[in-house]
Amino acid sequence: MVRLPYYGGPPFRDAIDTAVLHAAFDQIVGQGRWRPRRDVGTFPVRFPHPDDPGDDGWHVDLSFPGEASNPNETQDFSAWRVNITSRGRALLLLFLFSDVGDDDAPTRIRVGSHLPMARYLAPAGDAGRAHMMLEQMGSDCPVALATGAAGTVYLCHPFLVHAAQKHRGTRPRFLAQPPLHLAEPYRLERSEGDYSPVEVAIRLALGRI
């Protein structure tokens, strides 16, 4: 796997800055509650190879630095954290820039794993958790593969447990996985009751619905 950082040229900026995606972000995150992006983040490019990639563990993407982290860290995010309100990340996004079939190292997704993940994060409060071992998190959930034609975009709950896998195909796989950032924090208690679907899912997991 080769990781290519932060492509923000016109073709990539145009890919994320579309009316269709903006409407979806409004629907899932809430109008005015997310920040527009001007790049597509990093590209983990995977190539056909007979060996396991070595980075295929089940995980959620971390979203903010802990007290012991270097906030300018761009390579090693091992000390970063995630908390119950998903500080710093509105959604997990998967942009397919090449056709991705079952053999082309599609991202594995544990469907519904955002619910037990929310319950795991809740006791840690605002501080959140780091250095998480999530091999068993959502292990009873069905697994879906993020396959599709080039141009497909997956919009995922930020607590969704997912993993890479070996590339068994014949062509390189190009995928970008930028975070969608929040313009205001997710809130699990709103007096006006206008919860976003992401907030509703967390509240459902915690038995608040």
Q: Which amino acid is at 18?
A: T
Strands 108-110 and 162-163 turn out to be antiparallel
For 150, the 3-state DSSP assignment is coil
Q: What is the pLDDT of residues 26-46, one digit of tens each?
A: 999 999 999 999 999 888 899
pLDDT at position 69 over 70: no
81 phi and psi angles, rounded to 5 deg: -135, 170
Q: What is the CATH number of domain 2-205?
A: 2.60.120
Q: With bands split at pLDDT 50, 70 and 90, how would you rate the model's confidence at 47?
A: very high
Q: Where are the domains of the chain?
A: 2-205
pLDDT at position 155 over 60: yes
- pTM for this entry: 0.92
| Average pLDDT of the residues of the chain | 93
pLDDT at position 22 over 70: yes
166 phi and psi angles, rounded to 5 deg: -60, 145
d(CA 200, CA 186): 10
Which tokens belong to 124? 């840690």
